[in-house]
């Protein structure tokens, strides 16, 4: 491993922890101040989105491009689904500055300070492989959607070991069908090269692209099963990722 790359990685993660230590108390104060009147947590989530932006914007190794933000209607409530390549995915997705609650594995809620931010935002925990946790997650997602807050899920369930997508689980698509909320697919490309699943060493400059696809209204998938809908959306995202790779070649 080149010593300079290792050193720059140490600098970045020191920056990550430093920002966390500085902004966490502000997050607590904002949570306490807005909780009585901001029941959906819009202000706190916007602050958290800006916080996530801080972790990628100053890093010249991770230039991020958001494409077709106009396809996201801020007045609509979506079931948002995206492919999952890296730990960076949620950080760059915060940069779309949309109001949502993120479904995340329970282990992330146990990270010091980070977990506190997630609990204050009422992001939704999931213990993978536990049926009762899945049922609680689905109930929490339905409650969020009924209250007018979008939910964000990674249907692969976990990050891919490579840049190739894993099969999609059906939960997000069952949720969209049962709540009759539009599905908003998002294609992520480049995060697996910028920060792969195994390791925390930065790998040089790797552009990252977030491309928002056209939303699918409930009428477009009312005749499909959850499994069929998952396969269809996976194909849409896979096709878009292929386009992005061809455009950058």
CA quadruple 55, 57, 58, 62: dihedral, nearest 10: 90
The answer to whether 126 touches 104, Cβ cutoff 8 Å, is: yes
| Other Cβ atoms closer than 10 A to 246 | 8
Cα–Cα distances (Å) from 55 to 48, 117, 217, 228, in that order, read 11, 15, 33, 37
pLDDT of 197 reads 66
Residue that has been written with the tokens 């920056």 in this structure: 15
pLDDT of 186 reads 98
| d(C-alpha 55, C-alpha 20), whole Å | 10
pLDDT of 141 reads 97
pLDDT of 12 reads 85
pLDDT of 163 reads 66
| d(C-alpha 129, C-alpha 126), whole Å | 9
pLDDT of 124 reads 97
pLDDT of 1 reads 56
What's the CATH class of domain 3-248?
alpha beta
Q: Tell me if the pTM is above 0.85.
A: yes
List per-residue pLDDT tens for the chain, 249 residues long.
567 777 878 888 898 999 999 999 999 999 999 999 999 999 999 999 999 999 988 788 889 999 999 999 999 999 999 999 888 999 999 999 999 999 999 999 999 999 999 999 999 999 887 889 999 999 999 999 999 999 999 999 776 666 678 899 999 999 999 999 999 999 999 988 887 766 677 776 788 999 999 999 999 999 999 999 999 999 999 999 999 999 887
What is the distance in angstroms between the CA of the first residue and the CA of the last residue of the chain?
26
Q: Which helix (H) or strand (E) holds 53?
A: helix 42-56
Number of H helices, E strands in the chain: 9, 7
């Amino acid at each position: 491993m080149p010593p300079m790359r290792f050193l720059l990685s140490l600098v970045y993660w020191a920056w990550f922890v430093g920002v966390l230590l500085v902004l966490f108390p502000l997050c607590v104060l904002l949570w306490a101040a807005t909780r009585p009147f901001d029941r959906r947590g819009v202000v706190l989530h916007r602050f958290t989105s800006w916080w996530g932006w801080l972790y990628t914007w100053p890093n010249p190794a991770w230039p991020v491009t958001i494409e077709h933000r106009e396809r996201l209607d801020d007045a609509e409530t979506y079931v948002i689904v995206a492919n999952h390549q890296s730990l960076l995915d949620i950080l760059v997705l915060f940069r779309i500055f949309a109001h949502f609650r993120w479904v995340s594995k329970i282990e992330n809620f146990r990270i010091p300070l980070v977990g506190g931010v997630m609990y204050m935002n009422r992001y939704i925990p999931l213990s993978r492989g536990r049926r009762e946790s899945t049922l609680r997650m689905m109930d929490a997602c339905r409650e969020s959607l009924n209250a007018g807050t979008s939910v964000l899920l990674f249907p692969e369930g976990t990050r891919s070991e490579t840049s190739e997508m894993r099969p999609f689980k059906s939960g997000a698509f069952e949720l969209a069908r049962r709540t009759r909320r539009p599905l908003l697919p998002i294609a992520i490309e480049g995060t697996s090269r910028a920060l792969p699943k195994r390791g925390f060493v930065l790998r040089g400059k790797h552009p990252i692209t977030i491309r928002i696809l056209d939303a699918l209204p409930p009428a477009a998938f009312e005749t499909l099963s959850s499994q069929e809908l998952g396969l269809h959306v996976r194909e849409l995202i896979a096709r878009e990722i292929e386009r992005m790779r061809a455009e950058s070649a």
